[in-house]
Chains A and B, each alone.
Chain A
Amino acid sequence: MDDSHVVIIDNKEILIEQEQNLLELVRKAQIDLPTFCYHSELSVYGACRLCMVDVEGMGLVPACSTPPLAGMKVHTNTEETRKMRRIIVELLLANHSQNCPTCQKSTTCQLQTLARRLGITTIRFKNQNRDVPLDCSSPSLVRDQNKCVLCGDCVRICSEVQSVGAIDFAYRGMHTVVTPSFGKDLDKVECVNCGQCARVCPTGALTPKSEVDEVWKALHDPDKTVIAEVAPAVRVAIGEMFGLEPGVTTTGQIVAALKAIGFDKVFDTSFTADLTVLEESTEFIGRIEKNEHIPQFTSCCPAWVKFVEQYYPEFVSHLSSCKSPQQMFGALAKDILTGSLKVKREDMVVVSIMPCTAKKFEAKRDEFTHDGTPDVDHVLTTQELGRMIEEAGLHFKELSPESFHLPFGFKTGAGVIFGNSGGVSEAVLRYVTERLTGERRENYEYKSVRGESGIRETLLNVKGKEFSLAVVSGLGNARTLLEKIKSGESRYDLVEVMACPGGCIGGAGQPISRDPAVKQKRTKGIFENDRMLELHKSQQNPYVIELYKDTLGEIGGHKAHELLHTGYKNRKRMVDGGMTLSGFNGESALEVNVCFGTSCFLRGSQKLFHDILGHIRMNNLDDMVTVSASFCYEKCDKGPTIRIGDTVIEGCTIEAAVEAIERQTGPFKREVTHHA
């Protein structure tokens, strides 16, 4: 071994290769040095102090922020480092809720694991835990501050990886908390429900919101017909909870388990993914022909959809109008299955099993609720299903595989690869190329859209026409790409975005794992699934073909639109919080309200506001006009928006505003004159 690149860790020579810090090197030495705040995908934070090691000549240093230097002699288990770790864990436990057995994260909690590993049996410090109420406002996540160790993983993933920043540290010292702005509830702020915060949270401070109890209730209700749909990414991950390797496919066991638990029917979301391919591709071809709303953005990921609605209202029309496979399934189930199974809509309960927390939010969106009931009643994460299987006492690994029910249980590989980042794009390509060329293609794989990078671009030549594609995962990457599109630096025809790095297989509903290689293994598992299936192209799915023939009519047709498409609109980042600046409350005054939401602000609402004030002052209208500002009219793509009296003016100019003010203050003026 080349001595100039070697570090000695616990008497073992370890070669420095790409490692940025001692911690990575220690891990390479197969030593599980504990840490809460180090994640290779995030910036180095250095707060938990658990990874302190002894370097000869340097003393105790945090391994996470110490660059490895050749010749270093590192000891990870000295009396000092051991004592320090114990004290740290004791300190954290003294300020931690003590209800381990009833915690969602019990057995997967790193604090709990560490306390056991370090053999901590007593806590010598005074319990300082304050009983802070839970924040259960979000449909996707539960925040329990009593379990927060302030490692900041959630804060950093939300801002660094997702570029959302819905939560941050607030206050200082012992009062420090991680919280949405102004201590509001999570559902009142810009959280997109991706749940990545919960994925990296080492404890039970952030967890997916469980709907297990509601699902059991429905299962036990004799009047309800409970049907399940299982998303592609679930089948390569749930096994991890039962001691299987990541990436091992357990579709048959999942179906068997669901049936055993009491589901009346078990279907595959991949079936509606196949439908999505046909609808979305057709929509795409149409847009290309008309050259409008290009690039087309995929809309399968509800976190991404909310992201666009909040931050990029000008691109809302670029989102595919297709519902996500989950919602397509819900619509079909409540519309068609109710008929074929002869159940009333209100008696059918659709439960989807998803790798995702945002899907819980999506299922509750107004767009997907009809006649007072949602198309999808409950969304269970992979973790929740795992827990139900545990509760039911099923030996998951030993279950004999069973098959999905038909017709919605039959899928092609195209529908399965939706679970990977790039999967939707690849599935669409498998259809679009054949449709445009009219030729059958033997090789169905498009490796150019596969890969691990968060932004992948590819150029594709179909019948002499070039298509530019981008596949993005991680919302921070999406933001980078959108900014490039806005500035004209980049141009694409089709853009696939998944909020979670790596796509749905890396969703926050998946089993908890600290191994960074898990995502690759799941990805591989999904592609293997594709290979093992008989069919690989959505257009080959016989049950899809039959569905169009019998019920939906043509692809993109009227009935298909009714059931499978929707529309999105922009939304406020902050639910509450307007501001009124009006000076006069004259009941007889004309109210002028200027929008100061992000988009309007960027479109010049501040200058407009000034100009209006100028006009009012110049013309002595102070007594007649009340000016206020608000945060959002939700017309962001057409800003600046202002409301004058009852008129809402979009794309307002000062001229338009003055005209409206003059027109509407007319009556007041007369009144004033009259009084005079």
Chain B
Amino acid sequence: METLRKFERVCEIVDQNGRNEARLIPILQAIQVEYRYLPEEILTFVATSLGISPARVFGVATFYSLFTLKPKGKHVIRICNGTACHVKQSMDLYDIICTRLNLVAGQDTDPDMLFTVETVNCLGACGLAPAMVINEEVYGQLTPERALALIDDIIRKETGNEPDHYGA
């Protein structure tokens, strides 16, 4: 019934936005909140209900970096790569976290769909660089140790295992 409930919510979202094609971005944002990504068939449905071509919806959905067409992991980790964070070696954090989660280059989500690791341009928390967001929570003035500790906590909670074996 979960899929059904979600779909009803999509119908609701489209209606609330007056089936207005100008509201495409808010509609996609709301749908992504519901599904945590934008499923293809739902985008086709959105195109149908707004009377626009699916290619256009796809074009918009792929243009903006906050939209994703692939399901994301349960925990989304976003490492800030704004100037201030970059200066404070935030990309090292990124590498360290990817290594911990056994993510190889080009891969942003682990096979168990527990984690998605990505970068973000600037969180506006520059005074506290380097910063990262885990799910909706922002963490600042990170060191590699603190960042790993945060990740390890989640791994322990999710798997009940020690983090060093994650993904191995």
Residues of A within 8 A of B (CB): 159, 164-172, 179-183, 189-190, 573-574, 577-584, 596-598, 601, 606, 609-610, 613, 622, 627, 629, 631
Contact = CB atoms under 8 A, between A and B. Distances in A.
Between B2, B43, B54, the greatest number of chain A beta carbons within 10 A of the residue's beta carbon is seen for B54
Contacts of B8: 610, 613
A581 B3 contact: yes
A573 B42 CA distance: 15
Contact of B58 (A170, A573, A584): A170
A579 B53 contact: no
Given A170-B62, A583-B3, A189 B54 contact: yes
Chain B binding surface, main DSSP class: helix
A581 B45 CA distance: 13
Contact of A581 (B4, B57, B62, B63): B4
Contacts of B6: 581
B41 A579 contact: yes
A171 B63 contact: yes
Contacts of B39: 579
25 contacts: A159-B56, A164-B53, A165-B53, A165-B55, A166-B53, A169-B59, A170-B55, A170-B58, A171-B63, A172-B62, A172-B63, A181-B47, A181-B53, A181-B54, A183-B58, A189-B55, A190-B54, A573-B54, A579-B7, A579-B45, A598-B48, A601-B48, A609-B11, A622-B1, A631-B48
Contacts of B65: 172
B114 to A, nearest CB: 25
Given A171-B62, A172-B63, A601-B48, A165 B2 contact: no
B55 A168 contact: yes
Given A168-B59, A172-B62, A601-B49, A606 B11 contact: yes
B162 interface: no
Contacts of A573: 54
B120 interface: no
A190 B62 CA distance: 20
A273 to B, nearest CB: 33
Interface in B47-91: 47-49, 51-59, 62-63, 65, 69
Contacts of A577: 40-41, 44
Between A168, A610, A629, the greatest number of chain B beta carbons within 10 A of the residue's beta carbon is seen for A168
Nearest to B40: A182
Contacts of B51: 598
A181 B55 contact: yes
Contacts of B69: 182
Contacts of B49: 601, 606
Interface residues of B, number: 31
A172 B59 CA distance: 9
B48 A596 contact: yes
Contact of B7 (A165, A168, A581): A581
B5 to A, nearest CB: 8
A165 B48 contact: no
B44 A583 contact: no
B65 to A, nearest CB: 8
B34 to A, nearest CB: 13
A311 to B, nearest CB: 10
B1 A578 contact: no
B4 A181 contact: no
A157 to B, nearest CB: 14
Interface string B2-44: 1110111001000000000000000000000000000111111
Contacts of A579: 7, 39, 41-42, 44-45
A190 B41 contact: no
Contacts of B44: 181, 574, 577, 579, 631
B117 to A, nearest CB: 20
Contacts of A629: 7, 45
Contact of A181 (B45, B57, B63): B57
Contacts of A613: 4, 8
A574 B55 CA distance: 11
A-B complex: 3 closest residue pairs judged by Cβ atoms: A165-B53, A579-B41, A583-B1
A613 B12 CA distance: 14
A171 B59 CA distance: 7
B52 A582 contact: no
A168 B53 contact: yes
Contacts of B1: 583-584, 622
B58 A596 contact: no
A182 B11 contact: no
Contact of B59 (A170, A190, A597): A170
B58 A168 contact: yes
A626 to B, nearest CB: 9
B4 A180 contact: no
Contacts of B40: 182, 577
Contacts of B41: 577-579, 631
Between A190, A579, A597, A622, the greatest number of chain B beta carbons within 10 A of the residue's beta carbon is seen for A579
A601 B45 CA distance: 9
Given A180-B55, A181-B57, 10 more contacts: A168-B56, A168-B59, A181-B54, A182-B54, A579-B7, A579-B39, A581-B6, A583-B2, A596-B45, A629-B7
B58 A583 contact: no
Nearest to B44: A577
Interface in B103-161: none
Contact of A166 (B7, B45, B55, B63): B55
A609 to B, nearest CB: 8
A622 B2 CA distance: 12
A182 B45 contact: no
A181 to B, nearest CB: 4
A115 B63 CA distance: 31
A91 to B, nearest CB: 22
B3 A574 contact: no
Contacts of A582: 3-4
Contacts of A190: 53-54
A181 B61 CA distance: 11
A165 B62 contact: no
A168 B11 CA distance: 25
Contacts of A622: 1
A165 B62 CA distance: 16
A179 B58 CA distance: 9
Contacts of A168: 53, 55-56, 58-59
Given A579-B41, A597-B48, A165 B58 contact: no
A180 B65 CA distance: 20
A598 B57 CA distance: 15
A171 B69 CA distance: 11
A577 B57 CA distance: 15
A206 to B, nearest CB: 14
A394 B161 CA distance: 78
A19 B147 CA distance: 62
B15 to A, nearest CB: 8
B123 to A, nearest CB: 21
Contacts of A181: 43-44, 47, 53-55, 57-58
